[in-house]
Amino acid sequence: MLIRILKSSFLKRPKPVLLVLLSIVMGSAVATAFLGISGELSHKMALELRSYGANIVLEPAAGDAGALKSDDLPKIKTIFWKHNIVGFAPYLFGQVDFSSAAGRQRGVLAGTWFGRPLQVPGEPDSIQGVKVTAPWWELDGRWPETPDEAVIGAGLAKRLKLAPGSDIVATAAGKERRFRIVGVASTGGFEEEQLFAPLAEVQALLNKPGQLSRVLVSALTVPMDDFGRKDPSRMTREEYEKWYCTAYVTSVAKGVEEVMSGSRAKPIWQIASAEGALLKKLDSLMLLLTGIALFSAACAVSSSLMAAMAKRSPEIALMKTMGADRLQIAAIFLGETLVISVIGGLLGYLAGDRLAVVISRTVFDSTVTSPLWLFPTAIGAALVVALAGSAAPLKRALAIEPVRVLKG
Amino acid sequence: MAAIIETSGLTRSYGDICALKPLDLCVPEGEWLTVMGHSGSGKSTLLNLLGGLDRPSGGSIHVRGTDLATLSEDGLARFRRDCVGIIFQQHHLIPYLTALENVMMSQYFHSVPDEAEARHALERVGLGHRLKNRPGELSGGEQQRVCIARAIINSPRLLLGDEPTGNLDHKSTTMVMELLRELRDEERFSIVMVTHNQEVAAWGDRTIHMDDGCLVREERTKSC
């Protein structure tokens, strides 16, 4: 009988039912779209934020006396979080004498990879080097392509009166190496006082074959939380596994440290913290917008149901006259609401999925696939909207006094 | 004969207005009592109290031994579905349900809907051919007969009518009253009916006249 009542109620009162359905569909669709793109948005934002520079630095555990090994570098792309490694750049620093047409000066020579193809068995090919980890460098000229080409920092170039096309000679321990300047780098940092040359050439010049001073790693990470800040050495086995399997900057750093022998990995906190805070705020914003969308939908549902309830008060009064108790009245109206919300949730999911695709294509120029968990979430959101929206109208329905409504 | 209704000093006030002054009333099982009086005399107030749709301000009201004043909201709902059938002047049928579904709805609130039983009730009131029609497709007399079928479907011991023929023409009125008498004779339920119509009042066993919330006169219209 309840089904008959619900069926007849829907078929014979299409306008108010459609109004409520529309509110639920809109709320559910917006929630689905927001939640659907939030993962994509966070990922894209995290990638954009990688242009801030590396967020992990690897140095020899033994300090200045030690060195990292070039041969270990490919292993960085084999760690548990290998897919989160956006790029890395090795460095070997040395004090050398620079001489140019303008004179001689002592300074820092840095050997590095600029944009070196890296093949790791079983992993997709990638490009590693400064071009990847420091895309924010402003370069006047181009990146080096041959062993005798170099990039010079803007400060050093100014002092030595060098420009793209000039030559510079680096001398260390009686050895000399001539480089052709092909780019002048403005970074706003200490790099402006250095000369950057291919790693192998610098290793040979400094007589440090296969050695590195530092590796900068750029990795996609999740914002740090209280758990992520715990000291891993004091964690239980389960806690350690959970920490290790979460892409905190500390756990990614740990993974890199494990494959680079003799290394000590440290997060660059000013970058990691800023990224974490920004991503957290972005997630909060998406959740807030989703909440606002659902709240607005619930208000619309409540207002539609309230208007419908006013029209249906004689019907409710009559049911009470026939002996319907509060539970039976509630069953009829909540039954209607539940049916509408399941249909609304389904339609909202489909509409929200399409909306997410459109937003993703328009804003990020990429396609997004709604995760499966979003379907029950959309239905759940529709139910929450419907139940929250029907609370006040139901309360009013239960308070109806038949004597007043059926008078006359 | 045992009393189905017994009131003692029953009153109902709305603020300063006393709609029903202390009333002592006894209605034996099976009696058809008519309540007459002009508008505002307290007859509908009395009917609402007897049907458990309103609560008294003072005194006691027992229907089939149950003190209605002591029942909770849900207790009054149970009382209405178990003991009372109510017929209104305005019919008050649910517009989007068919005649059959309107009757079955009363069964649904009482216990379990039984389509065959509901169909039989409508056949008894002469609407076997109008089962699938909605209220808008029925005449006033037919709608009132659906209301009667709905009121008797759960075999109540007390049928309350609030001017049930007030909106009907003479022919329909006679048809409805004959139907009520026939059903009452078969089922032996009691009827308390409010009316302005002297002719309608004549169908009952006893008539009480009310004025300004008081019972002012009582007459037996025919022998029980």
Closest residue in A to B84 (Cα) is: A322
Residue A30: predicted pLDDT? 86
Whether B86 contacts B51, CB under 8 Å: yes
User: Chain B: nearest CA to A303, how far in angstroms?
Assistant: 23
Question: A59 with A90, same domain?
Answer: yes
- The Cα A379–Cα A349 span in angstroms is 8
Whether B89 contacts B117, CB under 8 Å: no
Question: A131 with A215, same domain?
Answer: yes
Listed as ranges, residues in chain A with pLDDT below 70 are 47, 50-52, 64, 408
Count of all residues that appear for chain A in the document:
408
The answer to whether residue B109 neighbours chain A at the CB level (below 8 Å) is yes
Whether A323 contacts A2, CB under 8 Å: no
Closest residue in A to B150 (Cα) is: A322
Count of all residues that appear for chain B in the document:
224
- With respect to residue B100, please indicate whether it lies within any of the assigned structural domains: yes
ipTM of the complex: 0.87
pLDDT digits (tens, 9 = 90+) for B187-205: 889 999 999 888 889 999 9
SS3 B154: coil
Instruction: Please answer yes or no on whether B81 and A323 come within 8 Å at the CB atom.
Output: yes
Question: A112 with A202, same domain?
Answer: yes
- Residue B109 sits in a domain of what CATH number? 3.40.50.300
> Per the structure, how many domains does chain A have?
2
Question: A60 with A103, same domain?
Answer: yes
Instruction: Please answer yes or no on whether B73 and A326 come within 8 Å at the CB atom.
Output: yes
Q: What range does the domain containing A146 cover?
A: 55-267
Q: What range does the domain containing B198 cover?
A: 30-52+85-220
The number of C-beta contacts closer than 8 angstroms across A and B is 77
Of A225, A241, A267, which closes a domain? A267
Given the DSSP bridges, would you call strands B32-36 and B190-195 parallel, antiparallel or unpaired? parallel
- With respect to residue A346, please indicate whether it lies within any of the assigned structural domains: yes
Cα distance from N-terminal residue to C-terminal residue, chain A = 29
Question: A256 with A321, same domain?
Answer: no
The answer to whether residue B101 neighbours chain A at the CB level (below 8 Å) is yes
Residue B224: predicted pLDDT? 38
Residues of B in contact with A323 (CB under 8 A): 77-82, 84, 106, 109-110
Closest residue in B to A315 (Cα) is: B94
Closest residue in A to B112 (Cα) is: A1
Whether B214 contacts B42, CB under 8 Å: yes
Instruction: Please answer yes or no on whether B107 and A1 come within 8 Å at the CB atom.
Output: yes
Which DSSP helix (H) or strand (E) runs through B148? helix B140-152
Q: Comparing C-alpha atoms, which of B43, B73, B37 is closest to residue B55?
A: B73
The answer to whether residue B86 neighbours chain A at the CB level (below 8 Å) is yes
| Percentage of residues of chain B with pLDDT beyond 70 | 98
At A67, give phi and psi (nearest 5°).
Answer: -155, 155
> Per the structure, how many domains does chain B have?
1
Which DSSP helix (H) or strand (E) runs through A107? strand A103-112
Instruction: Choose from A8, A321, A332, A333 for mutation: most chain B CBs within 10 A.
Output: A321
- With respect to residue A205, please indicate whether it lies within any of the assigned structural domains: yes
Tokens of A206: 């400094």
Question: A255 with A327, same domain?
Answer: no
Residues of B in contact with A336 (CB under 8 A): none
Task: Answer whether residue B223 shows pLDDT above 50.
Answer: no
Given the DSSP bridges, would you call strands A138-141 and A149-153 parallel, antiparallel or unpaired? unpaired
Residues of A in contact with B73 (CB under 8 A): 325-326
Question: A354 with A212, same domain?
Answer: no
Closest residue in A to B76 (Cα) is: A323
Of A245, A267, A289, which closes a domain? A267
- The Cα B172–Cα B166 span in angstroms is 11
Return the sign of the alpha-carbon dihedral for residues B122, B124, B130, B136.
negative
Q: Comparing C-alpha atoms, which of B118, B21, B10 is closest to residue B68?
A: B10
The amino acid that residue B117 corresponds to is: E
Residues of B in contact with A17 (CB under 8 A): none
- With respect to residue B172, please indicate whether it lies within any of the assigned structural domains: yes
- With respect to residue B152, please indicate whether it lies within any of the assigned structural domains: yes
Beta strands in B89-156 (DSSP E): none
DSSP A254-322: HHHHHHSTTEEEEE-HHHHHHHHHHHHHHHHHHHHHHHHHHHHHHHHHHHHHHHHHHHHHHHHHHHHHT
Of A2, A315, A323, the CB nearest to B94: A315
Instruction: Please answer yes or no on whether B150 and A322 come within 8 Å at the CB atom.
Output: yes
Contacting residues for A229 by C-beta, under 8 A, at least 6 apart: none
Tokens of A158: 């100014």
Which DSSP helix (H) or strand (E) runs through B147? helix B140-152
Of B48, B77, B79, the CB nearest to A403: B48
CA distances from A157 to A154, A183, A184, A195, A371 (A): 5, 10, 7, 9, 52
Whether A275 contacts A219, CB under 8 Å: no
Instruction: Choose from B76, B88, B102, B109 for mutation: most chain A CBs within 10 A.
Output: B109
SS3 A98: strand
Instruction: Please answer yes or no on whether B77 and A9 come within 8 Å at the CB atom.
Output: no
Whether B9 contacts B59, CB under 8 Å: yes
Tokens of B143: 């709608």
**DSSP letter assigned to residue A67:** -
SS3 B50: helix
- The Cα A251–Cα A80 span in angstroms is 10
Residue B222: predicted pLDDT? 59
pLDDT digits (tens, 9 = 90+) for B109-146: 888 888 999 999 999 888 899 999 999 999 988 998 89
User: Chain B: nearest CA to A4, how far in angstroms?
Assistant: 8
Question: A294 with A325, same domain?
Answer: yes
Instruction: Please answer yes or no on whether A4 and B101 come within 8 Å at the CB atom.
Output: yes
Helices (H) and strands (E) in chain B, counts: 7, 10
**Cβ burial, residue A23 (10 Å; 0-12/13-18/19+):** buried
Question: A160 with A244, same domain?
Answer: yes
Closest residue in A to B77 (Cα) is: A323
- With respect to residue B129, please indicate whether it lies within any of the assigned structural domains: yes
SS3 A129: coil
Question: A225 with A103, same domain?
Answer: yes
How confident is residue B2, by pLDDT bands cut at 50, 70 and 90? confident
Closest residue in B to A9 (Cα) is: B96
- Bridge partners of A215, per DSSP, are A58, A90
Question: A83 with A146, same domain?
Answer: yes
Whether B115 contacts B107, CB under 8 Å: no
* HEC secondary structure over A166-201: CEEEEEECCEEEEEEEEEEEECCCHHHHEEEEEHHH
Residues of B in contact with A13 (CB under 8 A): 96
Which DSSP helix (H) or strand (E) runs through B188? none
Question: A207 with A305, same domain?
Answer: no
Residues of B in contact with A324 (CB under 8 A): 77, 81, 109
DSSP A219-265: E--PPP-TTTTS-GGG--HHHHHHHHTS--HHHHHHHHHHHSTTEEE
Residue A408: predicted pLDDT? 54
- With respect to residue B164, please indicate whether it lies within any of the assigned structural domains: yes
- The Cα A294–Cα A388 span in angstroms is 10
- The Cα A73–Cα A260 span in angstroms is 7
CA distances from A237 to A231, A243, A244, A253 (A): 13, 10, 10, 19
**Cβ burial, residue A240 (10 Å; 0-12/13-18/19+):** middle
Instruction: Please answer yes or no on whether B96 and A9 come within 8 Å at the CB atom.
Output: yes
**What's the half-sphere exposure (Cβ side, CA atoms, 13 Å) at B167?**
17
Query: What are A's interface residues with B at a Cβ cutoff of 8 A?
Result: 1-2, 4-5, 8-9, 11-13, 314-315, 317-328, 402-403, 406-408
The amino acid that residue A319 corresponds to is: M
Q: Comparing C-alpha atoms, which of B4, B5, B2, B3 is closest to residue B61?
A: B5
